[in-house]
């Protein structure tokens, strides 16, 4: 069996992509680079333009301006527009868009042209674990199986890039975890560059090697999941990903003073700053380190594996702390509060 | 998301089809042009307005009547435990094969002043039955033989209903009748509207039934105008009024349909619904079905069979009937095939690339269906002799005329089927490396095949009964069953027309069956 | 769909066309079996049964086929008007003078040569000689044999009297009756015509689709008298024997026995004038005229051919002072008839 994977997976480069519909700007100057072979997520709230971006990359829409290059080929520039059928980009739609009039094998073979290589079809079905249902009509499959058919269909013609539009949103929550893993393994095994779109933060952070966060048609921040989570570049980013507490602080010589104590942070900022602290970094205990602050527990939400504890600081300000599920804290408890873990600092406004 | 621009070829094809289908309307415009004042006189004459009102009244009454018959019948045959449901389903659909002029004549034979019923009740002392002629007769003839146009789509819609909506209503304590009115009927509105539109347009353009029933409708005015005038301006002016009426109807229908998208998010199965028990309503329901079938189907067919057997007894040459039947089949099949191709262009244009142009193309196409056959025929005489003389009075032109007349019928089912195919699927196919035309052939076409079949069946059904265009445009000597029937009845040999009429019904029955299985008539 | 399914479907769809093409025919009714060279094209408002044997005779004579398009006279007239110079028709054979006048009015007919026009009395041809009558028929009052002859009126106008209530039948949609009404309007005036029509409606005159049912109704004693063309009764008598219970009465009033004619004209657009004229001439030969006299009981128009002996000779039918071409004002008649509720 020949190795049909491209030797060097193609990289995707998008420059200043713009697209408007009537009076709404869907994509307003988007720049993105995805290295070959990487699994990248486009994350953003609804209406941020992520699906439009995907469709622009696939060639299903024409942009108003900007360029899209894949590997060495220019797919969309000011002077060229390669139609979708020639882009060699695989696409997995949110509702799978399987052909109801073909069986599983027929769907997968569709992208291989009129005389499809049976061997290739079998190979891909094995890759996704569906070789045994090759003859079934697609409507007889479960949601997870259908999704894998869609994936196999997109992978069969060895595309240079594969796009996935909210691939897991139609699955039961219980399935999702496992399916995500399977999909990630399949894509990794195929060695293809992949870009998927999602509004689910957990999905993006857990699956992707790179995450690009979109806001109103532009990339707000791009980086590894850890990077963007612990070092958000803007207040909006910080607020968007997970929860964050924003405290006023005074920075001097690499240390910041705020209501939760004096913190060492990597920053060159001086003077008034904003301190961004995740609830996971807010530690509470009966006793604490010397610079800990006193606080009272005023609320608690229990999630099984963790709990969110709401505290009131002496100033009256409330902060949240995310702790493991035990020991349990209760409203009225008097505790010590301090910061343990990354904190970020932004120039004060 | 803004609609995309259509590929140039498709746009051209669609415009071409729409333009050709609009030829009758263009003919009217040309005929009126230059005689605008006399045309206006003809239109605004007091009697014209009277006739217009009367015609509107008939159209409204027939549409309401057809819906009133079709919806209960559909519900009874799909959702209840009516005995022999499938049989009733088929029987109640069949009256559509009977051409309205034959049906009208048979009604007169049965219920007219010299008809069978009169003979039966005379011994009882009833001298004269209330006259069947006029509005009542026309209404009866048209309603009885067009209601299946509503029945078929409503049955289809009932079969596709989501049971959960009604179950929720039941859980909230609503009684079945209320549930029917407030939950089921609103979901049927598109089907009722589509079928009702076809019935209304048919009534507008019908000539056979209203002339036999002596009801002064617009088409009769047009026909008489042709008979009477030196110049055809008046007739053309009246025809133009019909086109306007049709546009109004279409606009109403478009408003009713709204801009809903029908495609489902993914493949899903509809759970079969439990049949509603009729209980003590069983007998009245059976009686209702029975009466409708008796008058609309058994009576006409029975009379035809009776007369046919008499004719056979008299030794009639059957050879010509076979030949004529062959010709009817040929013309109707060709018209159906070409009509579907043309309708596909229009449907794809309208559904995938909606725009003012596509809407105009679709509306103009309906002009062919709303105008009486004689206007369509004369328009092609006009254009044929001026533009395409070598083709004049050839089979090609005849098929073309009939296709133009009935093409809009195929647009409906095709459009409905196309709406069921999510554009996503076509995009997926393109992403997999197939060019747009390939995508259409390998993905779209198979998925709308059933709509195409339904459209073909509808066109076939109407084309096989067509008369005026055949008389004017067929090659000399080319006889169809319809022309044969016409010839016999206009000579007064009504019974002699029975055998060709019966053969006509037989030919029309299979496409009708196909149509009722598909359960869709329009979008 | 499986491959087999697709093939099957294609077969099913193609089947009607194939069967149709195989079974279908362009056999011309009445055409000879020997293929001969095609000849002229005739648009005929007369029904096949009435003229096909005559056409056959002609085809035998000249050994050429005649292409006939059958239709309704008025519709064919409209078609000819629409076709104009491009019409494939050479000859228009009409059921009544009115349709001929319409076509003549569009200046589509060319004058016929004198030798043709001379064969037919002046009152049965166009003034300018553009068309010529072929056979004639008279309006009559048909009556059942159990109606006493003294009762019979001198004019259809009397049928509005109270003694005739509900006993009269007519066919308002029939071109011949409309022709009578037109004649009434032209000769006696609009008011008389209007009065008569209103009177007939008020008198519960029974309306039928055409002349044949009127005659049949008289035979069945549903009505006592009816306004028809003469040959309907003559035909029935010939077919059923002298016991047939219907007879004809020629009202003394000349309009009541209005004679109308079938007619033929040659189209100016013809490209075979000689042959077309030959056809017209043939229709006026004793042979053809005898055919019309014997088979359909119409009045022949040429000298030397007698109508069926049961018919009153044409010369003895009072002749109204009307030009048949004037009967082309159908519009006014139809308006009046609808206005009065007759139509």
Q: Mind spelling out the 3-state secondary structure of chain C? A: CCHHHHHHHHHHHHHHHHHHHHHCCCCCCCCCCCCCCEEEEEEECCCHHHHHHHHHHHHHHHCCEEEEEECCHHHHHHHHHHHHHHCCCCEEEECCHHHHHHHHHCCCECCCCHHHHCCCCHHHECCCCCEEEEEEEEEEEEEECCCCHHHCCCCHHHHHCHHHCCCEEECCCCHHHHHHHHHHHHHHCHHHHHHHHHHHHHCCCEECCCHHHHHHHHHCCCCCEEEEEHHHHHHHHHHHCCCCCEEEECCCCCHHHCEEEEEEEEECCCCCHHHHHHHHHHHCCHHHHHHHHHHCCCEECCCCCCCCCCCCCHHHCCCCCCCHHHHHCHHHHHHHHHHCCCC
Q: What is the DSSP letter of B457?
A: H
Q: Kindly list the averaged pLDDT for each block of 10 residues, start to end, along chain A of length 349.
A: 56 92 86 92 85 89 91 87 86 86 88 83 90 88 88 90 88 82 88 91 90 89 89 83 84 84 79 86 89 90 89 90 87 90 76
Could you give all domains of chain C from N- to C-terminal order, each with its CATH number? 38-136+259-312 (3.40.190.10), 137-258+329-339 (3.40.190.10)
Query: For the segment A151-185, what is each residue's pLDDT rounded down to a tens digit?
Result: 999 999 888 899 999 888 878 877 788 888 888 99
Distance from CA of B110 to the nearest CA of C (A): 15
Task: Please identify among residues 130-159 of chain A the ones whose CB lies closer than 8 Å to any CB of chain B.
Answer: 138-139, 146, 153-154, 157
Q: For residue B267, give the nearest of A58, A83, A138 by CB distance.
A: A138
Q: Are residues B404 and B293 in the same domain?
A: no
Query: For the segment A254-297, what is each residue's pLDDT rounded down to a tens digit?
Result: 788 888 888 887 777 788 888 888 898 899 999 888 888 899 99
Domain that holds residue B2: 1-25+316-523
A95 to chain B: which residues are within 8 Å by CB?
265-266, 422, 424
Q: Do C24 and B334 touch (CB under 8 A)?
A: no
B267 to chain A: which residues are within 8 Å by CB?
98, 100, 138-139
Q: What six digits make up the tokens of C284?
A: 């006026």
Could you say which of B315, B330, B360 is where a domain stops?
B315
Distance from CA of B264 to the nearest CA of A (A): 10
Q: Do B267 and A139 touch (CB under 8 A)?
A: yes
Q: What six digits make up the tokens of A337?
A: 């509060």
Q: Are residues B310 and B328 in the same domain?
A: no
- Return the pLDDT at A2: 36
Q: Are residues B347 and B466 in the same domain?
A: yes
Helix B356-370 to helix B319-352 angle (10° resolution) is 160
B436 to chain A: which residues are within 8 Å by CB?
85
In a domain, B302, yes or no: yes
C331 to chain B: which residues are within 8 Å by CB?
225, 228-229
Distance CA A278, CA A237 (A): 12
Q: Do B330 and C20 touch (CB under 8 A)?
A: yes
Q: Are residues B293 and B202 in the same domain?
A: yes
Q: Which chain A residue is nearest to residue B425, measuring alpha carbons?
A: A97
Helices and strands counted in chain A (H then E)? 8, 20
Task: Please identify among residues 149-208 of chain C the ones whose CB lies closer than 8 Å to any CB of chain B.
Answer: 173, 206-207
In a domain, B276, yes or no: no
**Is pLDDT of B261 > 70?**
no
Q: Are residues B351 and B225 in the same domain?
A: no
Distance CA B502, CA B505 (A): 5
Q: Are residues B295 and B336 in the same domain?
A: no
Query: For the segment B334-349, what is each residue's pLDDT rounded down to a tens digit?
Result: 999 999 999 998 888 8
Q: Do C75 and B472 touch (CB under 8 A)?
A: yes
Query: Which of B59, B407, B410 is CA-nearest to residue B249?
Result: B59
What is A12-88+159-236's CATH topology? Rossmann fold (3.40.50)
Distance CA B35, CA B32 (A): 5
Q: For residue B434, give the nearest of A85, A89, A170 by CB distance.
A: A85
Q: Are residues B308 and B355 in the same domain?
A: no
**CATH number of this structure's domain A243-347:** 2.40.50.140
In a domain, B265, yes or no: no
Of B428, B439, B445, B449, which to mutate for an interface test with A (greatest number of A Cβ within 10 Å)?
A: B428
Q: Do A60 and B267 touch (CB under 8 A)?
A: no
- Return the pLDDT at C151: 87
Q: What six digits make up the tokens of C322?
A: 């009307």
Helix (H, G, I), strand (E, B) or coil at A318: strand
CA B242 from centre of chain: 17
Q: Where are the domains of chain A?
A: 12-88+159-236, 243-347
Distance from CA of A114 to the nearest CA of B (A): 10
Instruction: Decide if C68 touches B, using CB distance below 8 A.
Output: yes
Q: Do B433 and A101 touch (CB under 8 A)?
A: no
Task: Give the pairing type, strands A245-252 and A218-223.
Answer: unpaired
Helix (H, G, I), strand (E, B) or coil at A157: coil
- Return the pLDDT at C91: 95
- Return the pLDDT at C112: 93
**Is pLDDT of B114 > 80?**
no
A91 to chain B: which residues are within 8 Å by CB?
427-428, 431
Distance from CA of A206 to the nearest CA of B (A): 27
Distance from CA of B445 to the nearest CA of A (A): 11
Say which residues have a Cβ less than 8 Å from residue A2's Cβ, sequence separation at least 6: none
Q: Do B432 and A154 touch (CB under 8 A)?
A: yes
Distance from CA of C336 to the nearest CA of B (A): 11
CA C282 from centre of chain: 19
Helix (H, G, I), strand (E, B) or coil at B401: helix
> Where residue B335 sits, what CATH number does that domain have?
1.10.3720.10
Q: What is the mean pLDDT of chain B?
A: 81
Q: What are phi and psi of A323, to 5 degrees?
A: -125, 165
Distance from CA of A139 to the nearest CA of B (A): 6
- Return the pLDDT at B229: 59
- Return the pLDDT at B269: 45
B268 to chain A: which residues are within 8 Å by CB?
139
Q: Give ipTM to 2 decimals.
A: 0.73
**Is pLDDT of B4 > 50?**
yes
- Return the pLDDT at C44: 92
Q: Which chain A residue is nearest to residue B269, measuring alpha carbons?
A: A139
In a domain, B432, yes or no: yes
Number of compact structural domains in chain B: 2
B432 to chain A: which residues are within 8 Å by CB?
85, 90, 110-111, 153-154, 157
Q: Are residues B320 and B181 in the same domain?
A: no
Other Cβ atoms within 10 Å of B452 Cβ, number: 24
- Helix (H) / strand (E) element for B137: namely helix B135-146
Query: For the segment B377-411, what is each residue's pLDDT rounded down to a tens digit?
Result: 888 888 888 888 888 888 999 999 999 889 888 88
Q: Do A101 and B447 touch (CB under 8 A)?
A: yes
Q: Are residues B51 and B138 in the same domain?
A: yes
Query: Which of A95, A111, A105, A97 is CA-nearest to residue A137?
Result: A105
Distance CA A171, CA A166 (A): 10
Instruction: Decide if B3 touches A, using CB distance below 8 A.
Output: no
Q: For residue C20, give the nearest of B327, B491, B492 by CB distance.
A: B327
- Return the pLDDT at B234: 75
Q: Do B330 and C24 touch (CB under 8 A)?
A: yes
Higher pLDDT: B300 or B181? It is B300
Half-sphere exposure of A5 (CA within 13 A, CB side): 15
- Return the pLDDT at B392: 84
Distance CA C263, CA C124 (A): 8
Q: Are residues B21 and B55 in the same domain?
A: no
Enumerate residue ranges in chain C where pLDDT < 50. Answer: 1-2, 27-35
Q: Are residues B320 and B179 in the same domain?
A: no
Say which residues have a Cβ less than 8 Å from residue C116's Cβ, sequence separation at least 6: C132, C277, C280, C281, C284
Q: What is the DSSP letter of A333?
A: -
Half-sphere exposure of C312 (CA within 13 A, CB side): 18
C335 to chain B: which residues are within 8 Å by CB?
47
- Return the pLDDT at B522: 52
- Return the pLDDT at A4: 42
Q: Are residues B331 and B298 in the same domain?
A: no
Higher pLDDT: C141 or B166? It is C141
In a domain, B53, yes or no: yes
Does the pTM exceed 0.90? no
Chains near A, with 3+ CB pairs < 8 A? B
């Amino acid at each position: 069996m020949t190795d049909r994977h491209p030797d060097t997976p193609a990289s995707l480069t998008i420059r200043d992509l713009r697209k408007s519909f009537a009076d709404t700007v869907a994509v307003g100057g988007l720049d993105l680079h995805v290295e070959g072979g990487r699994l990248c997520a486009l994350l953003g709230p609804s209406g941020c333009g992520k699906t439009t971006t995907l469709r622009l990359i696939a060639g299903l829409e024409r942009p108003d301006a900007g360029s899209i290059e894949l590997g060495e080929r220019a797919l969309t520039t000011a002077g060229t527009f390669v139609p979708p059928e020639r882009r060699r980009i695989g696409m997995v739609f949110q509702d799978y868009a399987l052909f109801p009039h073909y069986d599983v094998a027929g769907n997968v073979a569709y992208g291989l042209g009129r005389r499809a290589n049976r061997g290739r079809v079998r190979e891909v079905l094995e890759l996704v674990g569906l070789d045994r249902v090759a003859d079934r009509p697609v409507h007889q499959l479960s949601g997870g199986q259908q999704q894998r058919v869609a994936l196999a269909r997109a992978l069969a013609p060895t595309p240079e890039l594969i796009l996935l539009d909210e691939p897991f949103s139609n699955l039961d929550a219980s399935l999702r975890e496992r399916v995500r893993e399977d999909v990630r393994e399949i894509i990794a095994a195929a060695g293809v560059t992949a870009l998927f779109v999602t509004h689910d933060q957990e999905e993006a952070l857990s699956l992707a090697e790179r995450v690009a966060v979109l806001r109103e048609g532009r990339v707000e921040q791009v980086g590894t999941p850890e990077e963007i989570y612990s070092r958000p570049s803007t207040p909006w980013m910080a607020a968007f990903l997970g929860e964050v507490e924003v405290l006023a602080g005074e920075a001097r010589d690499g240390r910041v003073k705020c209501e939760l104590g004096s913190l060492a942070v990597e920053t060159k900022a001086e003077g008034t700053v904003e301190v961004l602290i995740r609830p996971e970094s807010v530690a509470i205990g009966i006793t604490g380190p010397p610079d800990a602050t006193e606080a009272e527990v005023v609320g608690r939400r229990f999630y099984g594996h963790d709990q969110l504890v709401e505290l009131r600081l002496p100033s009256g300000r409330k902060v949240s702390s995310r702790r493991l599920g035990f020991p349990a804290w209760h409203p009225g408890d008097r505790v010590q509060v301090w910061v343990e873990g990354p904190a970020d600092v932004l120039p004060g406004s | 998301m803004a609609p995309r621009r259509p590929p140039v070829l498709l746009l051209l094809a669609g415009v071409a089809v729409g333009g050709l289908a609009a030829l009758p309307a263009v003919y009217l415009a040309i005929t009126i042009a230059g005689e605008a004042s006399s045309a206006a006189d003809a239109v605004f004459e007091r009697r014209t307005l009277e006739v217009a009102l009367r015609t509107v009244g008939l159209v409204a009454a027939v549409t309401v009547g057809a819906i009133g018959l079709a919806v209960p019948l559909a519900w009874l045959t799909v959702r209840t435990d009516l005995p022999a449901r499938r049989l009733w389903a088929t029987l109640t659909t069949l009256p559509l094969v009977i051409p309205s002029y034959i049906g009208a004549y048979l009604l007169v034979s049965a219920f007219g002043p010299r008809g069978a019923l009169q003979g039966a009740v005379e011994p009882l002392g009833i001298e004269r039955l209330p006259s069947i002629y006029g509005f009542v007769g026309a209404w009866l003839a048209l309603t009885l033989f067009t209601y299946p146009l509503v029945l078929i789509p409503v049955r289809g819609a009932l079969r596709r209903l989501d049971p959960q909506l009604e179950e929720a209503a039941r859980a909230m304590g609503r009684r079945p009748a209320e549930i029917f009115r407030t939950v089921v009927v609103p979901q049927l509105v598109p089907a009722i509207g589509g079928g009702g539109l076809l019935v209304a347009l048919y009534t507008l353009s019908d000539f056979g039934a209203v002339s036999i029933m002596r009801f002064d409708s617009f088409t009769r005015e047009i026909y008489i105008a042709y008979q009477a005038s030196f110049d055809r301006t008046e007739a053309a002016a009246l025809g133009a009024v019909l086109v306007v009426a049709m546009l109004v109807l279409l606009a109403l229908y478009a408003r009713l349909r709204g801009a809903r998208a029908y495609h489902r998010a993914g493949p899903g199965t509809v759970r079969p619904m439990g049949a509603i028990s009729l209980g003590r309503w069983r007998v009245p329901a059976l009686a209702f079905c029975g009466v409708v079938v008796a008058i609309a189907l058994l009576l006409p067919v029975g009379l035809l069979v009776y007369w046919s057997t008499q004719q056979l007894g008299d030794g009639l040459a059957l050879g010509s009937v076979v030949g004529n039947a062959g010709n009817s089949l040929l013309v109707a099949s060709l018209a159906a095939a070409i009509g579907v191709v043309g309708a596909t262009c229009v449907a794809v244009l309208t559904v995938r690339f909606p725009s003012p142009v596509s809407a105009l193309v679709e509306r103009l196409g309906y002009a062919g269906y709303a105008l009486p056959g004689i206007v369509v025929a004369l328009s092609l005489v006009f254009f044929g002799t001026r533009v395409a003389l070598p083709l004049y009075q050839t089979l090609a032109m005849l098929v073309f005329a009939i296709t133009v007349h009935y093409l809009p019928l195929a647009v409906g089912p095709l459009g409905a089927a196309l709406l069921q195919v999510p554009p996503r699927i076509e995009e997926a196919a393109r992403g997999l490396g197939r060019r747009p035309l390939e995508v259409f052939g390998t993905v779209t076409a198979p998925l709308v095949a059933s709509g195409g079949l339904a459209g073909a069946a509808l066109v076939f059904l109407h084309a096989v009964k067509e008369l005026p265009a055949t008389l004017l445009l067929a090659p000399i000597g080319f006889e169809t069953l319809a022309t044969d029937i016409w010839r016999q009845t206009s000579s007064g040999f009504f019974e002699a027309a029975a055998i060709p009429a019966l053969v006509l019904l037989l030919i029309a029955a299979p496409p009708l069956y196909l149509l009722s299985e598909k359960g869709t008539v329009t979008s | 769909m499986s491959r087999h399914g697709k093939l099957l479907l294609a077969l099913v769809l193609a089947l009607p066309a194939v069967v149709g093409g195989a079974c279908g025919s362009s056999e011309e009714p009445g055409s000879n079996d020997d293929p001969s060279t095609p000849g002229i094209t005739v648009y005929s408002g007369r029904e096949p049964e009435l003229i096909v044997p005559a056409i056959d005779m002609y085809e035998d004579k000249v050994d050429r086929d005649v292409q006939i398009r059958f239709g309704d006279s008025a519709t064919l007239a409209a078609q000819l008007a629409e076709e104009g110079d491009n019409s494939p028709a050479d000859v228009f054979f009409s059921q009544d003078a009115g349709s001929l006048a319409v076509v003549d009015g569009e200046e589509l007919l060319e004058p016929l040569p004198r030798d043709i026009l001379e064969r037919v009395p002046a009152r049965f041809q166009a003034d300018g000689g553009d068309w010529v009558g072929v056979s004639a028929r008279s309006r009559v009052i048909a009556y059942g044999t159990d109606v006493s002859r003294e009762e019979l009126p001198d004019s259809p106008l009397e049928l509005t009297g109270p003694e005739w209530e509900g006993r009269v039948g007519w066919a308002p949609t029939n071109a011949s009756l409309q022709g009578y009404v037109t004649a009434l309007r032209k000769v006696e005036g609009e008011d008389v015509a209007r009065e008569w029509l209103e009177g007939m409606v008020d008198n519960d005159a029974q309306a039928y689709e055409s002349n044949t049912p009127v005659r049949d109704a008289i035979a069945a004693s549903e009505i006592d008298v009816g306004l028809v063309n003469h040959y309907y009764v003559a035909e029935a008598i010939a077919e059923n024997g002298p016991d047939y219970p219907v007879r004809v009465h020629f009202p003394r009033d000349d309009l009541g026995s209005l004679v109308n004619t079938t007619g033929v004209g040659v189209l100016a657009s013809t490209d075979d004038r000689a042959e077309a004229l030959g056809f017209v001439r043939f229709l006026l030969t004793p042979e053809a005229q005898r055919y019309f006299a014997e088979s359909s009981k119409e009045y022949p128009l040429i000298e030397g051919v007698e109508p069926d002996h049961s018919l009153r000779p044409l010369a003895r039918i009072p002749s109204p002072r009307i030009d048949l071409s004037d009967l082309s004002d159908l519009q006014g008649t139809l308006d009046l008839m609808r206005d009065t509720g007759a139509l």
